Structure 1
Amino acid sequence: MTFTAFFDINNTLVTIPLGSGYDMSWIEAIGTLFGLLCIWYASQEKTINYLFGLLNVSLFAILFYQIQLYGLLLLQVFFFVANVYGWYAWTRPNEHGETLEVRWMSPKKQTVTLVISIVAVALMTLYIDPIFVALTHLSLELLSVFGVVLPAPELEPDSYPFWDAAITILSIVAQILMTRKYVENWILWVAINLLSIGVYTAQGVYALSVEYLILLFIAIHGTREWVATAKQRKAPTGKELHV
């Protein structure tokens, strides 16, 4: 297999006996593996998770480009930037020479985050089709800057607008919270994975359902680990050692 053939979605690694059979390409398999490693190392509070995260979103951006899901391609750009920032935030010491510590959000931040998430999900649910059309056209314009000229695909109406909007918005929020080492990010990932399993099962995409089932168990593990870590890092007075 040549180096360029690795990135071809038609280069099948294995056919998974789920449903009528699912041909998993090399790029999807390796990208998925990097994604699982990213989430696992994040649950262990290991900064190397961001290296695997960058590899994961880069490969999936190439995958979405080939199957003409340009809105999702643009979302990978956000996750790429978030991974770069997270790597920086996790390793940059503050004025006291300390790095970020796992902790809970303050009640005020929890309320603000909840309100923003609810409003964003509601708005995206109402306007999800034009939003993804706009994202698709933006992706095409960005690609044209690099000399890649592609015809705009015909996008069908979203099958599950509310659930799709919820998964998209909550994924963005959870990723941001992870970069700041807030425990709540794992609670959101548990919810996201449960929603994803339901949506992909309903659509008959059983391979992705299995993948998100694995991610669900990792997210549950991450929740337990980070809750315990946050508890251990509180001072005897009940105040956090680092905010």
Structure 2
Amino acid sequence: MQPLFASAFTLWGSGITWLEIVAFVLAVAMVVLNIRVNAWAWPLAIVSSLLYFALFWNSKLYGDASLQIFFAAVAGWGWWQWLRGTTAEGDALTVRTLGPNGRWLALLALALAYPATALFLQHYTDTDVAWGDAFPTAASVVGQWLLGRKFVENWPTWVVVNVVSVGLFAYKGLWLTVVLYALFIAMSFVGWRQWRQMAAAA
């Protein structure tokens, strides 16, 4: 993969690699397809996640790098859910809301996963941003599950993840990825609006 780490151009004093460019394009296409509830988003997720794993590991963002492996693995599950998944009642999955109890459980999962992830990164890696890296890592796990099950609440989760990630990647000088996650913020609001409309129509 060494040729992919070659610098394509410089942005704000940092070299932008070919790997980051390809991952950027695939990730944007993936979110567009997610907004449209198109199952082809998932294979794009697998490829872009593996590319971002290499990029983040190279930048010592081990939490986010490990998260990309999780994303790639769970994308197969998400693809299956969107094609063959069913609700507890046995109906095909449709875009829907989580409900109050589900929201509290999602927040509880985040409250437990965030410090556990941060403490692991702090003690077992050489990262300099353990707590900053841990939050989007833990929140993304929650968001990915919500997305796979077609819950509207995945979109506000991604808004929060993307806002935190913009600051984290700016600190690391990954400027094209900063642009990507800033774009993700806007796209998450679009997805949130469209999925709420779909859920209301259903």
TM-score (ref. length: structure 2): 0.86
Gaps of 5+ in 1: 134-154, 234-243
User: Compared with structure 1, are the counterparts of its residues 59 and 197 closer, same or farther at alpha carbon in structure 2 (3 Å cutoff)?
Assistant: closer
Matched, 1:14 2:9: yes
Deviates more, 1:96-105 or 1:171-180: 96-105
Comparing 177-186 with 161-170, greater Cα deviation is found at 161-170
1:141 aligns with none
Give the Cα–Cα distance (whole angstroms) in 2 for the partners of residues 206 and 64 of structure 1: 13
Match of 1:162 in 2: 131
For the residue of structure 2 that corresponds to 1:14, the secondary structure is strand
Shift of the alpha carbon at 1:177? 0.8
SS in 2 for 1:181: coil
Question: Aligned partners of 1:199 and 1:67: how far apart in 2?
Answer: 11
1:195 paired residue among 145, 164, 167: 164
Query: Which residue identity does 1:175 align to in structure 2?
Result: Q
Which segment drifts farther, 71-80 or 168-177?
Answer: 71-80
**Percent pairwise identity:** 25
Distance in 2 of aligned mates of 1:44 and 1:224: 12
State the superposition RMSD in angstroms: 2.5
Deviations 1:3-42 (A, max 9, x none): x665x302x22222x2x2x222222111111111111110
* 1:72 shift after superposition: 4.3
Whether 2:46 is the aligned partner of 1:50: answer no
Q: Residue type of the partner of 1:106?
A: G
Output the CA distance in 2 between the equivalents of 1:203 and 1:190.
20
Give 1 or 2: higher helix fraction.
Answer: 2
Are residues 27 and 176 of structure 1, via their aligned partners in 2, closer, same or farther at CA, if it must alter by over 3 Å?
same
**Cα offset, 1:188, TM superposition:** 0.5
Offset at 1:231? 0.6
Alignment of 1:204-223 (within 5 A): 204-223=173-192
Q: 2:178 aligned with 1:185, yes or no?
A: no
- Residue deviations 1:36-56 (CA, integer Å, cap 9, x gap): 111111011111111211110
State how far apart, in whole Å, the 2-side matches of 1:105 and 1:118 are: 18
| 3-state DSSP of counterpart to 1:103 | coil
Q: Cα deviations across residues 87-136 of structure 1 (Å, max 9, x unaligned)?
A: 00000064998531011112211111111211222333444312x53xxx
Cα contact 1:9–1:66 (8 A) shared by 2: no
Work out whether residues 63 and 121 of structure 2, in 8 Å CA contact, stay in contact via their aligned partners in 1: no
Q: Which residues of 2 match residues 121-140 of structure 1 at below 5 A?
A: 121-130=114-123, 132-133=124-125
TM-score by length of 1: 0.73
Aligned length: 201
CA shift, 1:69, in A, is: 5.6
1:120 aligns with 2:113: yes
One-letter code aligned to 1:168: T
Higher Rg: 1
Deviation at 1:203, TM superposition (A): 4.9
Label 1:68 to 1:116 Cα distance change in 2 as closer, same or farther (>3 A).
closer
Change (3 A) 1:118 1:78: same
Matches within 5 A, 1:14-93: 14-16=9-11, 18=12, 20=13, 22-64=14-56, 72-92=64-84
| Cα distance change, pair 111–72 in 1 and its aligned pair in 2 (3 A) | closer
Listed one character per residue, the Cα deviations across residues 36-82 of structure 1 (whole Å, up to 9, x for unaligned) are: 11111101111111121111012223444556665544332211111
Contact 2:64–2:133 under 8 Å retained in 1 = no
Structure 2: state its 5+ residue gaps: none
